[in-house]
Amino acid sequence: MEPTTELADQAHLSERILEALQTEEATQLLREIRPPDLAEALSTIAPQDAAKILQHISLELAVSVIDEHAFANRSLVLGLLDLDLATALVDAMSPDERADLFSQLTSELAEVLRPRLSKEAAQNLSSLLRYHPESAGGIMTTEFVSIRDHVTVGDAIESIRAVANQKETIYYTYITESATGILLGIVSLRELLANHPLELVKDIMMTEPKTVYADTDQEEVARLLSRYDLLAIPVINARRQVVGIVTVDDVLDVLIEEQGEDLQKLGGMDAIENSYMQTSFFDLLKKRGGWLAILLFGEMLTATAMSHFEHDLSRAIVLSLFLPLIISSGGNSGSQATTLIIRALSVGEMALSDWWKVVRREFATGLALGLLLAVMGFVRVVLWHLAGFQDYGPFYYLIGATVGLSLIGVVLLGTMAGSMLPFALKRLKLDPASASAPLVATLVDVSGVVIYFMIASVVLRGSLL
């Protein structure tokens, strides 16, 4: 068998399954397929077809499939199943995925399904639905192993053995105080196995484990798991009782999801929830058109700004030739700076309080980069004139100087605006990643126009202007 490094071919898979269902050859194919693959395959076909397949396969497989985060349109498909099957599936799902699914259901379907759930599932659901979907509470599961503090290693292993098939992770066991349920420590299955069965768990457990609250942001949770190489982290309430755990597989999903969202925001659009191909044309249009329109409004200010310099322009048409070059350089340097700072803020490399350090650093960097581009710009103008490619008139060196000085100005402005906008957004409790490259570019464009013509009017006064 080849290493399975290929993730494509989902659509074909669905077609093959549908065909197989008709030709009664389904059994073999469905024995081989893994739930995540089937889940992704079902996401790419019509919900009606997906429902047909779900109704045809074993309940066990159907549960595994509906439990997959990758089954992007499962809420839609669920509505097409008959109600008994839908209830059975939702009842058997893992608590975290069930809550996730419910938050996407139409309110009609949710109201029909909820009273039909088992008591345990219903309770789990209402406690999980209280939390923000992007918080620790929103991605945690309530299935974890906890034991009291007087248990021996041997007993602990036995009780893990008994629930090995039910709990989402059995690799950590949480030790709680008998009377209060307060978290005392954590022991890994590794440590349990490495110790003598008659030892007390509380003597080998790790006290003061890393914990999060239910409202901790999911990115923060991801960072903690990554930093401390954990397979799960307990979510506690104000009394230090464990209300759930977040496992590393959910954190991987979070990271991959947030990565896409951050990229899309940086690219100047609202983040899309599904994959590109699964997002409808109109949804895509909405997520992109909104920002494009806002940015166009911003850019309209450049026209207003320029109209103030129309007279100068008419006397020195040559100035307009270098306008795109100058404002784009500002946008480019701003785009670099904003990316660097968004990243540093999002992984916790720097805090809000570091803004002044960043100002000083970016000022120096912006100045150096501006000087570099200024030299290039000046040389370009002068060289082209002297080489005879272009005739910039008798004051070509002044035009070169105007271009060079303006480049210093806009690059400096770009780095400063680009690096400070994420701080400003974070200060306002907004997502720093909204400081998109196009947004920074637009801000810088308007001021870039003003800088350019101001410098021109000083440098060229008495010659061209």
Footprint of its own copies on 139-158 (CB under 8 A): 157
Which residue stretch of 19-27, 105-113, 173-181, 284-292 sits at the interface with its own copies (rule: CB under 8 A)?
Answer: 284-292
Nearer to its own copies, 269 or 405 (CB): 269
CA–CA separation, 220 and 224 (whole Å):
6
Residue 368 binds to its own copies (criterion: CB under 8 A): yes
CA–CA separation, 2 and 439 (whole Å):
46
Comparing CA positions, the residue from 463, 456, 354, 464 lying closest to residue 410 is: 456
Residue 220 binds to its own copies (criterion: CB under 8 A): yes
Q: Which of residues 291-310 bind its own copies (CB under 8 A)?
A: 291-293, 295-297, 299-300, 302-304, 306-307, 310
Nearer to its own copies, 51 or 441 (CB): 441
Residue from 73, 127, 226, 241 in contact with its own copies (CB under 8 A): 226
- Read off the amino acid at residue 65: V
Contact flags string 162-181 toward its own copies, x per CB under 8 A: --xx----xx----------
Burial class (CB in 10 A: 0-12, 13-18, 19+), 6: exposed
| Shortest spacing between CB 115 and its own copies, in angstroms | 31
Token pair 């990565």: residue: 259
Residue from 314, 388, 428, 462 in contact with its own copies (CB under 8 A): 314
Dihedral angle at the C-alpha atoms of 367, 370, 375, 376, nearest 10 degrees?
Answer: 150
Nearer to its own copies, 150 or 308 (CB): 308
| Shortest spacing between CB 122 and its own copies, in angstroms | 26
CA–CA separation, 145 and 195 (whole Å):
19
Q: Which of residues 375-404 bind its own copies (CB under 8 A)?
A: 376-377, 380, 390
Local structure of residue 152 (DSSP, 8 states): B
Comparing CA positions, the residue from 293, 309, 312, 341 lying closest to residue 442 is: 293
CA–CA separation, 235 and 141 (whole Å):
9
Q: Which of residues 424-453 bind its own copies (CB under 8 A)?
A: 436-438, 441-442, 445, 449
Q: Cβ distance 444 to 336 under 8 Å? A: no
Alpha helical stretches, state H, 387-436: 396-427
CB atoms under 10 Å from CB of 379, counted, come to 12
Residue from 15, 134, 191, 273 in contact with its own copies (CB under 8 A): 191
Q: Which of residues 3-42 bind its own copies (CB under 8 A)?
A: 3-5, 7-8, 34, 36, 40
| Shortest spacing between CB 175 and its own copies, in angstroms | 15
Which strands, in side-by-side order, build the sheet including 242-247? 212-213, 232-236, 242-247
| Shortest spacing between CB 112 and its own copies, in angstroms | 30
Q: How far is C-alpha 459 from the chain's CA centre?
A: 47
Q: Are strands 206-207 and 183-188 parallel, antiparallel or unpaired?
A: antiparallel
| Shortest spacing between CB 107 and its own copies, in angstroms | 30
Residue from 125, 184, 373, 382 in contact with its own copies (CB under 8 A): 373
Residue from 317, 356, 428, 462 in contact with its own copies (CB under 8 A): 317
Token pair 């590794």: residue: 190
Contact flags string 319-358 toward its own copies, x per CB under 8 A: -xxxxxx-xxx-xxx-xx-xxxxxxx--xxxxx--x--x-
Number of residues that bind its own copies (CB under 8 A): 131
CA–CA separation, 330 and 448 (whole Å):
7
Q: Which of residues 400-419 bind its own copies (CB under 8 A)?
A: 407, 411
Residue from 24, 84, 115, 276 in contact with its own copies (CB under 8 A): 276
| Residue 316 CA: distances (Å) to CA of 109, 202, 307, 320, 328 | 68, 83, 14, 8, 21
Residue 241 binds to its own copies (criterion: CB under 8 A): no
CA–CA separation, 202 and 213 (whole Å):
23
The rounded radius of gyration (Å) of the Cα atoms in the chain is: 30
Q: Which of residues 78-137 bind its own copies (CB under 8 A)?
A: none
| Shortest spacing between CB 197 and its own copies, in angstroms | 10
Residue from 47, 177, 260, 359 in contact with its own copies (CB under 8 A): 260
Residues in Cβ contact with 75 at an 8 Å cutoff, skipping those fewer than 6 apart: 101, 104, 105, 106, 109
Nearer to its own copies, 108 or 229 (CB): 229
Q: Does residue 437 sit in helix, strand or coil?
A: helix
| Shortest spacing between CB 316 and its own copies, in angstroms | 10
